Chain A
């Protein structure tokens, strides 16, 4: 892997995110979240803010990477990327890094707004770690999901199903609708729950227990596993299909 080339690719991806208005959309969304949360009382805010940061880092990451890949499909640009000296791992990694940077940017916008307006107390380092790891994992997962979608609409529909299946149990547990003790051991294998633990770790009131460390390892190993064994091996075939062969 050539670090300079990865840097060029990441920079290119970020420029395109801007040109294709993906940055503008995420700033707008951050603004909408911000306005919405500003008007809720502090108790609800405490429950909602981590949830919104989680949605931003998970579902939105999948959607943004899906959008990027479908833009490329429409313009057949992936064919020309295949005939550059860039290797497949460089091409995949650059997209993952760019999407993570982009999502981090929108999450930071939300956080800055609330630190200034609502005086919430954060552990910045842990918050960054939580957002980066959650975003990276779901970006890689979104990459893999995009391989099987024919169009962006199909991707959105599957994202809804995916969100419902994974996000709802976490929400139900968080708001005490599901109270059974054993459920936390089932939930811990849900990547959304793992992301939730990591992002919650960024708030000063969070008590670090085994669930946090498990989630940290789970998303770290999960990201490497999905990248290495699911995304990379199928990337070349995917790229060839997109190039019209």
Chain B
């Protein structure tokens, strides 16, 4: 759906490129994540993809056509949820939504969307009275109200509670399952892990790795099994290589003779893999 080739970008007041020749593809019907610390170039890349920033180098195609050749009708296909709230605070939620709705040819079922994110009851409240979480959920409704084919989400769960974060994640998955394509930027590992079909690690404007979270875990994880069992009133832990574990006598004996407390594969978290691949952490970077 999107193909990005050797993308470079420099802000007018900067000396160096903030995006340093990245290439990737977003396939139709997938959730593609951009994972990286603050300042890595995630939001800049998103702003280039949605044609807000234009003076980039390299090529970007959308459905096989250079994005630079698209007019404003491009936005009939695109839904964008920005990280910060973007509503008129002295208007109600519905007044905001109804205003934006009229700017598009295709209109989604707003009532269903508002109910889905738990804002229907508050639809006649001024947005200025909304909590940050409510504003972010309204951002998502705003992004979906034109029934987009491609959805861009910038740090979608930042600042909202776990229950509402789950609602949003489910909504994104439903959007994908209905044929939509999603591009997510986040520094929150669980978002990427739970949502994305593929993820790119971005640090200092460079992509260090692209693959599915599952493949990354298999590739970078330890191929081992960790066993915890009781012996003499104590918990003892032992680790076995995954290869030919079914023929490992010691492992099989422990299984047969001991009271097993836990068994875990040596799967690493995405965060560990991110640190291993990029050499930097996700949370210790300042905004």
Contacts and interface: CB of A to CB of B under 8 A. Distances in A.
B72 A85 contact: yes
B91 A8 contact: no
Contacts of B71: 87
A125 B82 CA distance: 47
Interface stretch (B95-103, B180-188, B233-241): B95-103
A25 to B, nearest CB: 14
A8 B73 CA distance: 16
Contacts of B47: 245
A241 to B, nearest CB: 10
Contacts, number: 70
A6 B71 CA distance: 17
A18 to B, nearest CB: 10
B88 A75 contact: yes
Contacts of A183: none
Given A15-B95, A76-B85, A245-B52, A86 B90 contact: no
Contacts of A16: 88, 90-91
Contact of B53 (A5, A19, A245): A245
Nearest to B81: A80
A184 interface: no
A85 B73 contact: yes
B-side binding surface: helix, strand, loop or mixed? loop
Contacts of B52: 79, 82-83, 240, 243, 245
A86 B75 CA distance: 9
Interface in B198-256: none
Interface residues of B, number: 32
B50 interface: yes
A-side binding surface: helix, strand, loop or mixed? helix
A83 B87 contact: no
Contacts of B88: 16, 19, 75, 77
Nearest to A21: B90
B53 A83 contact: no
A85 B76 contact: yes
Contact of A85 (B75, B80, B87): B75
A79 B44 CA distance: 14
B86 interface: yes
Interface in A217-245: 236, 240, 243-245
Contacts of B44: 245
Contacts of B74: 85
Interface in B52-78: 52-54, 71-76, 78
B89 interface: yes
B103 A85 contact: yes
B277 interface: no
Contacts of A84: 72, 75, 100, 103-104
A93 B211 CA distance: 46
Contacts of B95: 15
A80 B80 contact: yes
Contact of B82 (A8, A80, A87, A240): A80
Given A84-B104, A245-B47, 13 more contacts: A9-B103, A15-B91, A15-B99, A19-B90, A20-B90, A76-B82, A77-B87, A80-B82, A83-B52, A83-B75, A85-B72, A86-B72, A243-B82
Interface of A: 5, 8-9, 12, 15-16, 19-20, 75-77, 79-80, 82-87, 236, 240, 243-245
